[in-house]
Amino acid sequence: QKEVEQNSGPLSVPEGAIASLNCTYSDRGSQSFFWYRQYSGKSPELIMFIYSNGDKEDGRFTAQLNKASQYVSLLIRDSQPSDSATYLCAVYSNSGYALNFGKGTSLLVTP
Amino acid sequence: DTAVSQTPKYLVTQMGNDKSIKCEQNLGHDTMYWYKQDSKKFLKIMFSYNNKELIINETVPNRFSPKSPDKAHLNLHINSLELGDSAVYFCASSQVVESNYGYTFGSGTRLTVV
Give the pLDDT of residue B97: 61
> Of B42, B45, B108, which is closest to A43 when you measure between CB atoms?
B108
Give me the residues of A, 43-62, that contact B with CB < 8 A.
Answer: 43-46, 49, 51
pLDDT of residue B98: 62
- Concatenating the DSSP letter of every residue in B21-80 gives EEEEE-S--SEEEEEEE-TT--EEEEEEEETTEEEE-TTS-TTEEEEEEETTEEEEEE-S
**What residue of A is the nearest CA neighbor of B107?**
A43
User: Which pLDDT score, from 0 to 100, does residue A95 have?
Assistant: 67
Rounded to whole angstroms, the Cα distance separating A4 from A88 reads 10
- Average pLDDT rounded to a whole number, residues A32-54: 94
Check whether B24 has a pLDDT greater than 90: yes
pLDDT above 70 for B54: yes
Query: Considering chain A, what percentage of its residues have pLDDT values greater than 90?
Result: 80
Instruction: Flag whether pLDDT at A41 surpasses 70.
Output: yes
pLDDT, tens digit, 9 for 90 and up, residues A4-40: 999 888 999 999 999 999 999 998 888 899 999 999 9
* Residue A1 pLDDT: 59
User: How high is the pLDDT of residue A93?
Assistant: 75
Q: By the CB < 8 Å criterion, does A77 face chain B?
A: no
For the segment B44-59, the average pLDDT, to the nearest whole number, is: 82
Mean pLDDT, residues A55-65: 97
Residues 13-42 of A with CB under 8 A from B: 31-32, 34, 36, 38, 42
| Contact (Cβ atoms closer than 8 angstroms) between residue B76 and residue B68 | no
| % of chain A exceeding 70 in pLDDT | 95
Task: Say what the pLDDT of residue B41 is.
Answer: 83
Dist CA A98 CA B31 (whole Å)? 10
Contact at CB, A43 and B105, closer than 8 angstroms: yes
How far apart CA A22 and CA A34 sit, in angstroms, is: 12
Q: Are A49 and A91 contacting, i.e. CB atoms less than 8 angstroms apart?
A: no
Residue in chain B closest to A105 (alpha carbons) equals B41
pLDDT of B16 higher than 80: yes
Average pLDDT, chain A: 93
Subunit contact B100:A42, Cβ cutoff 8 A:
no
8 Å CB contact of B98 and A45: no
| pLDDT of B79 strictly over 70 | yes
- The count of CB pairs under 8 A between chains A and B is 55
